Amino acid sequence: MTSKELLARREQVIPKAIIGSSKLTVASAKGARFRDMDGREFIDFSGGIGVLNAGHCPPEVVKAIAKQSGILMHSFFNLLNHEPYVLLAEKMAEILPHGPHGTKTMFVSTGAEAVENAVKIARQATGRQGIICFTGGFHGRTLMGMSLTSKVGYKTGCGPFAPEVYRLPFPDYYHNGKGLKYDDFVEQELANFKKYLSSVVEPAQVAAVILEPVQGEGGFYVTPTRYLQGLREICDQYGMLLILDEVQSGFGRTGRWSAYEHYGILPDISTWAKSLGSGIPIAAVMGRADVMDKALGGTLGGTYAGNPVACAAALASIEYMQRIDINKKGEKVGAVIRKAFLQMKKECSAIGDVRGLGAMMAIELVKNGDPNQPDAALTKNLVDACAARGLFLISAGVYGNVIRVLSPLVIDQTTLKTGLNIMREELLRLTQNS
């Protein structure tokens, strides 16, 4: 079958709302490359949108899936306990402890489902209802996920949304710094957050603040260190919980198991998915044991939550990532990308900003060097031009003008540099000819 034939069949049976951002297909994949239905090979800079930090089809994970499938394929954990769930929870607590008094973990199927449950737990633990989120944030496409998500294009016509959600400005220095020194801007934004607790919602009504340490769909904006530390202090002051959404930023992507490890703080609750299962649908909600245990009996769980095959895949993924030191790979890949992006910025005025943490790197494309003139057209043209040369890129950002790199962290240096060179050549060609 050809790509053209598959796309024609898709048109007949798949809803149009499931937008195809490209006309590419995939038939097989390994490591950091995939082949389409026509046999063409591509370098993958998307990693399944952050799912494949350990690469496509890691052999250890494939074997674990096959083995577990022949032993126990399903058990509803709320009724029948199974060891893979417990083993995975123990491993998660080992690599991502949430404090000295114990860490507890529950498993679900998706990042959005993890966010939904994190909010439920926070509300039960505090007896409050309000949830504070941020502009640019992405937390899923379920009801609460959409309510927390900032980009309107992901939720057009889907309301009404969940109540008691309060959205505050993300501390975006690139767009909103307005000549202030970086440290002064961060202190200003912390002061503004405190003002919102008087003018928008009082802290006694707030169960939790939810934030991505590095915004994913929003465009790879990195939360300033002092800002996140300040949020931790404010939450402690007012009895609000801090939920960190690490769905896209976890498992070596920033050079650490979690992005929050760069900040010297701990969340009360955190959410995980994507690279946890190397492509098998599994997600997690982790938290301080005393917080997690305040959820009422019967309010947590799900038919497929903590499926034994998914748990086995996740455990094998983590053990494989530990063996190959995925965090060190994230640091190394990120350093190469950052160096290449900064060089591109010197050569191309269309790059307004280079930002990221570890291997979670992005460039923002703008017109006339103006942060407030996003160039979504150039971004799309760059994605298409690179695809024609065998490099699969993806965009991000509220205005669709950010190119983000989420390549598998197991990518070899030659392949990584080849992809970056294609990106550079096509960007220069497009901007010099315009």
Q: How is 7-24 classified by DSSP, letter by letter?
A: HHHHHHHS-TTS--SSS-
Two tokens, residue 187 = 């202190």
Q: Mind listing the pLDDT tens digit for each residue in 2-20?
A: 999 999 999 999 998 887 6
8 A C-beta contact, residue 109 and residue 282: yes
Element spanning 373, H or E: none
5: exposed, middle or buried (C-beta count within 10 Å: 0-12, 13-18, 19+)? exposed
Two tokens, residue 292 = 């997690």
To 10 degrees, the CA torsion angle through 17, 18, 19, 24?
-150
Sign of the CA dihedral 399, 134, 251, 363? Answer: positive
Two tokens, residue 307 = 């499926």
Average pLDDT, the chain: 96
- Residue 290 CA to residue 351 CA, distance in Å, equals 46
All domains of the chain in start order, with CATH: 3-54+325-432 (3.90.1150.10), 62-323 (3.40.640.10)
Distances (CA, A) of 434 to 52, 258, 427, 429, 431: 35, 41, 11, 9, 5
Per-residue pLDDT averaged across 258-269, rounded? 98
* Residue 98 neighbours by CB under 8 Å, 6+ apart: 266, 267, 268, 270, 286, 287, 288, 289
Q: Does the pLDDT value for residue 229 go beyond 70?
A: yes
Q: What pLDDT, on a 0 to 100 scale, did the predictor assign at position 150?
A: 94
* Residue 298 neighbours by CB under 8 Å, 6+ apart: none
Per-residue pLDDT averaged across 177-198, rounded? 97
Per-residue pLDDT averaged across 264-293, rounded? 98
Q: Does the pLDDT value for residue 107 go beyond 80?
A: yes
- Residue 404 CA to residue 342 CA, distance in Å, equals 14
413-432 helix and 326-347 helix, angle to the nearest 10 degrees: 20
Q: Mind listing the pLDDT tens digit for each residue in 346-387?
A: 999 999 999 999 999 999 999 999 999 999 999 999 999 999
Q: What pLDDT, on a 0 to 100 scale, did the predictor assign at position 23?
A: 86
- Residue 352 CA to residue 31 CA, distance in Å, equals 32
Helix (H, G, I), strand (E, B) or coil at 80: coil
Per residue in 320-357, is it b (16+ CB within 10 Å) or e — as a string? bbeebebbebbbbbbebbbebbeebeeebebbbbbbbb
pTM over 0.75: yes
Provide the residue count of the chain: 434
What are the two backbone dihedrals, phi and then psi, of residue 321, each rounded to the nearest 5 degrees? -65, -35
8 A C-beta contact, residue 2 and residue 12: no
Q: What pLDDT, on a 0 to 100 scale, did the predictor assign at position 20?
A: 65
* Residue 404 neighbours by CB under 8 Å, 6+ apart: 216, 219, 220, 360, 361, 362, 394, 395, 396
- Residue 29 CA to residue 406 CA, distance in Å, equals 16
Q: Mind listing the pLDDT tens digit for each residue in 54-86?
A: 999 999 999 999 999 999 999 999 999 999 999
